[in-house]
């Protein structure tokens, strides 16, 4: 039943992807930031939207937490009518890397969640990103829970990328996660496509991870061919606030991220080509 999630046509001004998993510690922030950094390094004007109160993507790309113009203020103005609300662009911060920007998060995001949920502001992020001009790609990092911010991201996105760390608990959670995406598609965002499941911290010499991957593929789940290895280098990348493409572009993990990015881009172009043929 999940196969149909893969073949949906994506048409939008900027390609908007959400990196989503309800399980914590699977590498959502790291994957979002590294793929966004690769896109930016190739000349695409790229935005990372950090919706996680832990603000890991914000720290990864900026090295510090901004004192103002964060996602908290962005959402807070949706609750309070203002004659002159700030434009979305005013909340975007340039990173040290060319073409790469971030809408930063902070811990205060957590306090707003219940109010936003009760006022049903679930479509506001989509409206803001659809109106945003001048960007080629948007990558949305989400908290490890299916609540207001995550639902807003899934409603706003064209595509969903799911990190998976190859253990049995993660596998059980994956089925529920796929069902949740199906529900979001049915109720709020019919064009949302699951681009694929990203196997993270993969150990190629171990039997169990490959067995799990093979079984997921046999079940029809869209496991991507490009896997990400476990490496202590990623901790150095976090510490220095430099995505792998900027820290050490020749490192094995950096090359794996490039391969993953290129796999996603190739699949996206194939969908666009198919859409063009259908319209002809």
Q: Give the residue from 249, 175, 191, 211 showing the smallest Cα distance to 11.
A: 191
Average predicted confidence (pLDDT) for the chain: 90
Q: Give the residue from 228, 233, 230 showing the smallest Cα distance to 251.
A: 233
* Domains along the chain with CATH numbers: 11-273 (3.40.50.300)
- pLDDT digit string, tens, across residues 124-182: 999 999 999 999 999 999 999 999 999 999 999 999 999 998 877 788 889 999 999 99
- Enter the pTM of the model: 0.91
Distance CA 244, CA 233 (A): 8
């Amino acid at each position: 039943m999940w196969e149909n999630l893969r073949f949906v046509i994506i048409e939008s001004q900027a390609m908007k992807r959400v990196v989503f998993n309800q399980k914590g510690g699977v590498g959502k922030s790291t994957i979002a930031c590294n793929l966004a950094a690769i896109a930016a390094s190739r000349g695409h004007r790229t935005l990372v939207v950090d919706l996680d109160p832990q603000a890991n993507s914000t720290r990864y790309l900026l090295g510090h937490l901004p004192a103002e113009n964060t996602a908290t203020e962005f959402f807070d103005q949706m609750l309070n009518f203002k004659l002159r609300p700030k434009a979305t662009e005013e909340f975007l911060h340039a990173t040290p890397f060319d073409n790469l920007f971030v809408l930063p998060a902070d811990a205060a995001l957590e306090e707003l969640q219940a109010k936003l949920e009760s006022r049903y502001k679930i479509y506001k992020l989509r409206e803001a990103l659809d109106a945003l001009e001048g960007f080629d790609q948007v990558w949305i990092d989400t908290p490890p829970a299916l609540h207001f911010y995550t639902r807003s991201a899934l409603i706003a996105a064209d595509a969903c990328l799911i990190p998976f760390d190859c253990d049995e608990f993660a596998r059980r959670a994956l089925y529920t996660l796929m069902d949740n995406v199906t529900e979001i598609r049915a109720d709020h965002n019919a064009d949302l496509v699951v681009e694929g499941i990203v196997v993270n911290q993969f150990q190629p010499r171990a039997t169990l991870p490959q067995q799990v991957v093979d079984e997921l593929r046999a079940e029809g789940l869209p496991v991507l061919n490009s896997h990400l290895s476990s490496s202590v280098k990623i901790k150095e990348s976090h510490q220095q606030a430099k995505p792998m493409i900027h820290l050490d572009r020749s490192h094995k993990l950096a090359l794996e991220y490039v391969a993953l990015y290129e796999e996603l881009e190739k699949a996206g172009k194939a969908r666009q080509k198919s859409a063009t043929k259908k319209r002809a």
